[in-house]
Chain A
Amino acid sequence: MSDNGKEQITLTIDGREVTVDKGTTVLEAARSIGIDIPYFCWHPKLDSVGACRMCLVAIEKFPKPVVSCATDVMPGMVVRTDTDEIVKARRGVLEFLLLNHPLDCPTCDKGGECDLQDNVFSNGIDTSRQTFLRNRVIDEETKTTFDDKRIGPEIIRNMNRCVTCFKCVRFNKEIAGEFDLGVYQRGSSTVIDTPPGEPIDNLYSGNVVEICPVGALTNTDWRYKVRVWKTKQADSISSYDADGQNIKLYYDHRLIHRAMSRPNDDVDEGWICNIARYGYQYINSLDRITKPLIKKEGQQVEATWDEAIKLIAKRFKEIKDKKGSVCIAGLTGGNLSTETNYLFNKFFRHNLHSNSVDYRLENIDLKDGVETAAYNCLSAAPFKIADLEKADTILIFASNFIKDHPIVNLRLRKAHRKNGARVYTANPVVTKSADISVDELIYQPDTEAAFLIALIHAVIDHKLYKNIDESKAAEIKTVLKPASLSEAAGICGIDEARITELARALAAGENLYILAGEYLKASQHRHTIANGLFNLANLLGVDDDKAAILATHANSIGADRVGLRPNLSASLAETLASKWEAELPDSSGCSTSQIFKGALGEEIDSIFIMGANPAMRYPDGPFVNAALDKLDFLVVADLFETATTAKADVVLPLAGWSEQSGSYVNLEGRYQPFSKALPSKQGVKTGIEIIRSLAEAMEAPLGLDDKTLETETKEVVDSWKREPRAVDTFYDVKQSGVIDHGDFPYRLLIGNDLHHYGYLSEHCPSLMRFTSDVYLEMSPNLAEKLKIADGDLVRVESSTGKLVLKVRFSEYFEGEVLFIPNNFSSVEVNHLVSREGGGWVKIEKLDDK
């Protein structure tokens, strides 16, 4: 037995002894001691199919050569990878594969990183016995050989180059659970294609290009741009979601040319989503702001950096002198590096003496502005992505998982596929995860709390709880409102029996995970919901790291860890004070919504926003726009002109994430550094440079050089400690009945489109090829009821605004819920929702004319 508890097996490969875990394949065992067996169809993360026959080896006592990729090691096996027979077999396979391969390597984008090229170079022969036309694949309709065919928004297929390893289709079905690519015909006519008439456009589709060992599948993103050996590479991290996808950027002196995966088994296992893959493109955009703008007589005009910085310093000083520093607030966006956030924080707290900083820009804030203990605790759970695959029961709650957590979603699927984990989902809409769910429960919009209350009732009523006694259980029941399962179930609109069934299934789980996401975070009632979740986790005895509210933006956690929020824990305050060798201001800070409210009142006069676009993204458009308009002095640093920069007195061109080095902290709390890929675009400055020069202009330099900044930031991140979940604590959870929304009967959800995240992705042409415009998503049933057809124009109206949008049907929608993506600047979606009322709308079909 080894450390990991697996049985060990010793065998001999090419005369060398090797010991590996039972269940390892001969190919992997050989790789582990540096013997490279050539292959095409094998992939470490896919099930072996043994199709290409390239990896044949000779094993003593076996009558025929066997495929090493699908043969498990056995004790005492004697393997040879280099006998004459094997060499001949490999040559044979290569000769077969080359028979109809076009040999267009000079113009093939895979050139230089093609497995066929490499394998022929090291194992092939240099003469050809092929005397026929290279045209294995002939299109029946046109009688021509297959050349390039676009099979999806980003993918071109050249069937003649295909070596029929099926990796693309296997990835698509096995790993991603997507069905937009298949294998057709058979024998030598086998082709890889999408289902007739449909494109391959799933969120993970870029991976099929990456794992294609030859140039059969190429990306329009990369085609004919540059030869791979002329590029440089930088290790990076995706700047969108909080999963922390590891990527590698390929760039030359001018541009970034592509992003590929940088396999990290703890995080992504080498699979990245399309947003991570194509999302770098905004960096290359010609629409970037490259000169500071200063508002003069109501007009923003170009200015020099010097002018701009001086102006900001002067105005901050004036405001500070007049009303005290507390009335200057700072907001940062979700993809600023941890270092930038740290410096920004220091600038505000140390130089401006203001505690009014926040990074939580997209969720409706709460009345008191303070997150509760339960919410904080669950948001900081030490959840580990890789551990999820060992789960046997998983509840995904209040999250459209594929959109919120594209990579954790793949782990969820793996848990299901590899270990048969029983997945349950509870959401206001049907989600992609439904296909692997034992049961998918759809609750009425905004009844998350009622759902949890019902579930808790079921757990208590059926004595499914752990670690507490009956009297405690009875006591817990009294803090729930509604006070019975049937009432609570009635509010959330789910059958009591199904809730009880779910409670039983969760209680039966030996390795149970409960993961909650965006719908919860965006809810006005998130404290109540968090309380319920906290109670549930305690009742069911869920481990501390297995009940979590997952973070959303690339660096929300990083910003949080370095204290970019108004209220700091005592220990963090102490750490910062000691690092800065100064007292932190004792004034109370404002959270995002308090800042906006303060702006509408008299408390806040100036806001400095870096890398964020609340005018477009804050889910109460009228409110936030009024607040920004009212400010005395607004500074916005960003990459593009946005609805927010439009209101600014000074606009500063900001560098993108890849134009500097830095770090992100992903939703697990994993600190991941990334390197600089390109020098900043001419005229732009990094967040750090901006803050530094501002501090200098205000004659209070921050005194942190790059190196110190990096180490200090890391130390602060590392010093962060979490209070474990108090397992004997139970909170009150209440939800009142469903409110009647009168004239506005449909719940409107706003959020990310499948292929967009935040407001920068619309500057990525590849992503725009997947979704280029806003739409109103609804279920076919609701559409039928309203006599609306797919593609019709409708007017959507709420108490705060109205919009005209095109309807799109969604197989994932059920019931009377609507969705509009908030990634497109062309339409002010956030004007339809308000902090008090949430998003409730009515819709009306417009005549075509």
Chain B
Amino acid sequence: MEKVLFKYVEEPQQYLIDNYIKNGGYQALPKVLKDFTPDELIEEVKKSGVRGRGGAGFPAGLKWSFVPKTDVKPKYLCCNADESEPGTCKDRVLMECDPHMVIEGCIIAAFAIQAHHAFIYIRGEFAYPAFRMEEAVNEAYGKGYLGKNILGSGFDLDMIVHTGGGAYICGEETALLSSLEGDRGMSRIRPPFPAIEGLYSCPTVVNNVETLASIPHIINRGVDWYRTYGTEKSAGSKIFSLSGNVNRPGNYEVELGTPLSYVINELGGGIQTGHKLKAIIPGGSSTPLLMPDQIDTPLDYEAVAEAGSMLGSGAIIVIDERACMVWVAMKLINFYQHESCGKCTPCREGTLWLKRLINRIEHGEGKKGDIELILDICENIMGRTICPLGDAAVMPTESIIKHFRDEFEYHIEHKKCKVKTDYAFE
């Protein structure tokens, strides 16, 4: 497949505006401003079938169309660059290597919903990507792609690069908005949905970096071209962050529907030499496991769901036989417990309880009945929380127990690991 988002990712200075333009950048924007009304643009994006790359896979065009057109309130666009889901590190590459692509996508999306303020919410730890984005935004102002009366179209847009402070929850769209407003990054109850009442209680669209970066390509080369990639329901290409026990971890762009085995074996060079595949987390740490026999699952939203997991943010974490799965479960629950915003009871208290239980099993102090208790606690969290963080904590836990219950039982009975995790550091 011809690379779309990663076409110039190896180019050393693609982040400079002149290079971006030289390589065909900022052509979609003038076209949009000249040839499209906002409605036509939304229609076009709907037709392209591009779906949100932030995790939920919600059709982008449809989301934009929810923004009230008659509302006199200002509208806002937020580019979600919080990228904190363990395993995910793709947006960072786009921002570091091709920031103008993201910016161009943002301007087009802002035009579609008639927003005059766009925010790029970047996780605080990403100082360098934020710096690249900031520089790029300044360049774009300099060339008249941002600011007042963009390219003489009469459309104004202010773009602000905003950095976070170290909180995974701020990737969740409503928490992101709270954080952007200067509050603690706590999720808010929906409805109202952000498209109706988001930032400063005004209609707001939140899209992932990769989603927005895809937009200029769709405009430049057309819906039909875009649809030649991917499947009927999962159109286009997507970046997968491959990490864990493979020979060549990295970010790889493939078209949706590509078999998981291709990414792991061909692109990633297979499981780390000398080791055997044990399990795969296909879509970021919050998604249920796929087992070795599912390695040929096509990477599209539908197929992965059918296989019992989720495509999520496209972060493939490969686990080989050296890992104790209780240890894996512990690593994950410790993360979610640390990141719960604390607003709702099941998430706040439940993740802590799970953390204590799983840690005690891992440390050889598990008690009989702990597994059942864990599963029951999971049931009491699942679907009971404000935002999906609660679910995100539960899904991998349940899935790991489902597939590797024996390891948990062994731990409780023998007070030690069935497989002693020991990844060397050399």
Contact = CB atoms under 8 A, between A and B. Distances in A.
Interface of A: 48-54, 56, 64-65, 67, 70, 88-89, 92-93, 95-97, 99-100, 129, 131-132, 136, 163-164, 166, 183, 185-190
A388 B105 CA distance: 48
A187 B350 CA distance: 10
Contacts of A164: 342-343, 345, 348
A166 B341 CA distance: 13
A166 B183 CA distance: 14
Greatest chain B CB density within 10 A among A92, A131, A166, A189 is at A92
List of 10 A-B pairs having minimum Cβ-Cβ separation, nearest first: A92-B380, A96-B349, A190-B342, A187-B340, A50-B189, A188-B352, A187-B342, A64-B383, A186-B342, A51-B343
Contacts of B349: 96-97, 99-100, 136, 188
26 contacts: A48-B189, A50-B189, A51-B343, A53-B346, A53-B384, A54-B345, A65-B383, A67-B189, A70-B189, A88-B380, A89-B384, A92-B380, A93-B380, A95-B380, A96-B345, A96-B348, A97-B349, A99-B352, A131-B367, A163-B345, A164-B345, A164-B348, A186-B186, A187-B342, A188-B340, A190-B342
A49 B186 CA distance: 11
A65 B390 CA distance: 14
Contacts of A131: 367
Contacts of B386: 50-51, 53
Interface in B337-383: 337-346, 348-353, 356, 367, 373, 379-381, 383
Interface of B: 167, 169, 184, 186, 188-189, 337-346, 348-353, 356, 367, 373, 379-381, 383-386
Contact of A65 (B339, B340, B384): B384
Nearest to A188: B352
Nearest to B352: A188
Given A50-B386, A51-B345, A65-B384, A188 B337 contact: yes
A452 B273 CA distance: 88
A425 B339 CA distance: 44
A423 B112 CA distance: 37
Contact of B380 (A52, A89, A186): A89
A50 B385 CA distance: 9
> B342, B352, B367 — which one has the most chain A CB atoms within 10 A of its CB?
B342
Nearest to A51: B343
A100 B348 CA distance: 12
B56 to A, nearest CB: 15
Given A48-B189, A53-B344, A188-B340, A129 B384 contact: no
A346 B380 CA distance: 70
B189 A187 contact: no
A164 B342 CA distance: 8
Contacts of B338: 187
A51 B341 CA distance: 11
A52 B379 CA distance: 17
Contact of B384 (A48, A92, A166): A92
B362 to A, nearest CB: 15
Contacts of B351: 187-188
A53 B350 CA distance: 12
Contacts of A100: 349
Contacts of A92: 346, 379-381, 384
A361 B156 CA distance: 63
B353 A96 contact: yes
A190 B167 CA distance: 14
Q: Which of B188, B345, B356, B386 has the most CB of A within 10 A?
A: B345
Given A95-B380, A186-B184, A187-B340, A52 B345 contact: yes
Nearest to A186: B342
B242 to A, nearest CB: 30
B388 to A, nearest CB: 11
Given A187-B337, A188-B351, A97 B345 contact: yes
Nearest to A69: B189
A92 B347 CA distance: 11
B383 A186 contact: no
A52 B384 contact: no
A189 B384 contact: no
B342 A189 contact: yes
A49 B346 contact: no
B393 to A, nearest CB: 11
A49 B345 contact: no
A93 B340 contact: no
Given A95-B380, A136-B352, A129 B373 contact: yes
Given A129-B373, A188-B340, A190-B342, A183 B184 contact: yes
B348 A187 contact: yes
B305 to A, nearest CB: 15
Nearest to A67: B189
Contacts of A129: 373
B345 A93 contact: yes
A38 to B, nearest CB: 12
A130 to B, nearest CB: 8
A132 B367 CA distance: 12
Contacts of A52: 344-345
Contacts of B340: 186-188
B189 A188 contact: no
Given A96-B353, A187-B351, A188-B349, A51 B383 contact: no
Contacts of A188: 337, 340, 342, 348-349, 351-352
Contacts of A97: 345, 349
Contacts of A186: 167, 169, 184, 186, 340-342
A132 B356 contact: yes
Contacts of B373: 129
Contacts of A99: 349, 352-353
Contacts of B337: 187-188
B187 to A, nearest CB: 10
A95 B188 CA distance: 24
B89 to A, nearest CB: 24
A705 to B, nearest CB: 58
A100 B386 CA distance: 22
A183 B351 CA distance: 20
A96 B351 CA distance: 10
B66 to A, nearest CB: 18
Nearest to B350: A96
Given A65-B383, A88-B380, A188-B342, 15 more contacts: A49-B188, A50-B344, A51-B344, A51-B386, A52-B345, A53-B345, A54-B345, A92-B379, A96-B349, A99-B352, A99-B353, A129-B373, A132-B353, A187-B339, A188-B348
Among A129, A136, A185, the most chain B Cβ lie within 10 Å of the Cβ of A129
B219 to A, nearest CB: 35
A184 to B, nearest CB: 9
Contacts of A67: 189
Contacts of A93: 345-346, 380, 384
B345 to A, nearest CB: 5
Contacts of A50: 189, 344, 386
A477 B186 CA distance: 57
Contacts of B346: 53, 92-93, 96
A67 B344 CA distance: 11
A132 B358 CA distance: 13
B358 to A, nearest CB: 13
Contacts of B383: 64-65
Nearest to B381: A92
A93 B384 CA distance: 9
B384 A56 contact: yes
Contacts of B384: 53, 56, 64-65, 89, 92-93
A343 to B, nearest CB: 56
B348 to A, nearest CB: 5
A96 B343 contact: no
B380 A49 contact: no
A784 B379 CA distance: 63
A66 to B, nearest CB: 9
Contacts of B341: 186-187
A99 B345 CA distance: 11
